[in-house]
A and B are shown apart, each in its own frame.
Chain A
């Protein structure tokens, strides 16, 4: 019945253009998803690690000059970058005696950098959610189309034997399998990254006032 030695892959040679298109879309989704997963995983891991090390150093030393010098080593961490932006703003102040104005300017600079960091952290992650939500449906579309074609063929051959029905359905089901194969890692990655980004955002929110206070030499 299944002449091809390639099994499921052999069936693709008989697949229609719609099923092939669906499969190519899912394949590209899968490739991009895995690229995002790998990219984000390395980015977030570095950011979290460097932020933790920086925070330890910050609370140990509590000298803004030294902390700024040390922060230059941590290029990937979100918190070191935010601290640097606040420090640069602090240095740029003309009138350091006006504490209220200085605090407002530093706070604004830190807020700006925090927003930029949040944006950087969450870039590309929504694509994972899109793939996780749509890939099964795209696969299902390919399957439904394949089964429709299969039944059409059956009506043409006027044979309802298993040999006539099974290859078409098997070929159609590949699309659903491909959709799930693309969606499952995307959903797992999305949930993991969302949780990690939330942790970093919480850190940023928590330590931004600390940085302002440290820069202004407030207790």
Chain B
């Protein structure tokens, strides 16, 4: 029996060693594992709340240019719909993970909203003309139709309740915004949120409805005071991951000085890469 006690002690020791080895192996293995693919944040403009004006993000100098996708939203509803996709020459996409399309929303504007939007539309027109190759008749027609629709929307939105949203088109990386939060600040915010976003698109079986439209209100000191889901995805997992990412990102860097003491609204669309059509 003495010998059995000896073997019992040896077995117990061996188990302890094996378990410790397994734990250390897991730790070591976790260090070597490639992290699951992080789905990038796609930022697009969001509609302004009723009564407020909207300033779209300034995409000046944006390297990432995609086909023009004008997103319009009916005035009372925050939902965004794609209306036109204009066939313009594609330029190489830079970073597929982040294509900031930011809308910024402020307290009642200092300028009449119609003027701002009209200016923005003019700029778009100019840039499309400058950057696109001579359009074929069909595409030109489509462009004109889209612009006409957009103008109509702007007119119908009226002062103080105007809502518009959009993505930068090819050759027009500036977007619509004027006088908004600096692009570098928006990019920094997007980057921070993206870094804090832990989400694996491979877990999603169904790609339908997998986009989360979120607005966040940033105080001058960088604190996120409000998170508003304008549209939630079907997956609670995606919704929660977005919420956690934003919460984790607070406080953001303090707002640029040009913003003064005002708070700003920035909108995002979170969508799993590869699912977006």
Chain A contact residues, CB within 8 Å of chain B? 1, 5-10, 27, 30-36, 38-39, 42-43, 124, 159, 161-163
- Least Cβ distance of A168 to chain B in Å? 15
- Least Cβ distance of B58 to chain A in Å? 37
Report the separation of the CA atoms of residues A30 and B11 in the bound assembly, to the nearest whole angstrom: 9
Central interface residue in B7, B15, B30, by most chain A CB within 10 Å: B7
Contact (Cβ within 8 A) A31 B3: no
- Least Cβ distance of B29 to chain A in Å? 7
Say yes or no: A34-B27 contact (C-beta < 8 A), given A159-B236, A163-B237. Answer: no
Contact (Cβ within 8 A) A7 B30: yes
Say yes or no: A35-B8 contact (C-beta < 8 A), given A27-B15, A30-B15. Answer: yes
Contact (Cβ within 8 A) A31 B12: yes
Is residue B182 within 8 Å, beta carbon to beta carbon, of the partner chain? Answer: no
| 21 interchain pairs, CB-CB under 8 A | A5-B27, A6-B30, A7-B29, A9-B22, A9-B26, A27-B15, A31-B12, A32-B8, A35-B4, A35-B8, A35-B11, A36-B7, A38-B7, A39-B7, A42-B7, A43-B3, A124-B4, A159-B236, A159-B237, A163-B203, A163-B240
Report the separation of the CA atoms of residues A203 and B8 in the bound assembly, to the nearest whole angstrom: 30
Contact (Cβ within 8 A) A35 B237: no
- Least Cβ distance of B201 to chain A in Å? 12
Report the separation of the CA atoms of residues A8 and B7 in the bound assembly, to the nearest whole angstrom: 28
Say yes or no: A39-B4 contact (C-beta < 8 A), given A7-B26, A161-B235. Answer: yes
Is residue B200 within 8 Å, beta carbon to beta carbon, of the partner chain? Answer: yes
Report the separation of the CA atoms of residues A30 and B14 in the bound assembly, to the nearest whole angstrom: 11
Residue of A nearest to B238 (CB): A161
Chain B contact residues, CB within 8 Å of chain A? 3-4, 7-8, 10-12, 14-15, 22-23, 26-27, 29-31, 200, 203, 235-237, 240
How many A-B pairs have beta carbons closer than 8 Å: the answer is 59
Residue of A nearest to B203 (CB): A162
Report the separation of the CA atoms of residues A7 and B3 in the bound assembly, to the nearest whole angstrom: 37
Report the separation of the CA atoms of residues A144 and B15 in the bound assembly, to the nearest whole angstrom: 25
Report the separation of the CA atoms of residues A104 and B32 in the bound assembly, to the nearest whole angstrom: 74
Contact (Cβ within 8 A) B200 A31: no
The SS class assigned to the B binding surface is helix
From the candidates B3, B29, B203, B235, name the one contacting A39 in the complex (CB within 8 A): B3
Contact (Cβ within 8 A) A31 B29: no
Residue of A nearest to B3 (CB): A39
Contact (Cβ within 8 A) A1 B11: no
- Least Cβ distance of A66 to chain B in Å? 30
Report the separation of the CA atoms of residues A11 and B156 in the bound assembly, to the nearest whole angstrom: 57
Residues of A within 8 A of B7 (CB): 35-36, 38-39, 42
Can you add 12 more A-B contacts, CB < 8 Å, to A9-B22, A39-B3, A161-B235?
Answer: A5-B26, A5-B30, A6-B30, A7-B26, A10-B26, A31-B8, A31-B11, A31-B12, A32-B8, A35-B8, A124-B4, A159-B236
From the candidates A34, A42, A161, name the one contacting B236 in the complex (CB within 8 A): A161
Report the separation of the CA atoms of residues A43 and B3 in the bound assembly, to the nearest whole angstrom: 10
- Least Cβ distance of A15 to chain B in Å? 15
Residues of B within 8 A of A36 (CB): 4, 7
Central interface residue in A8, A31, A42, A162, by most chain B CB within 10 Å: A31
From the candidates A7, A38, A42, name the one contacting B11 in the complex (CB within 8 A): A38
Residues of A within 8 A of B200 (CB): 1
Residues of A within 8 A of B235 (CB): 161
Report the separation of the CA atoms of residues A8 and B27 in the bound assembly, to the nearest whole angstrom: 11
Residues of A within 8 A of B26 (CB): 5-10
Residue of A nearest to B198 (CB): A1
- Least Cβ distance of B18 to chain A in Å? 10
Residues of A within 8 A of B3 (CB): 39, 42-43
Residues of A within 8 A of B23 (CB): 6, 9
Say yes or no: A34-B29 contact (C-beta < 8 A), given A9-B22, A39-B7, A162-B237. Answer: no
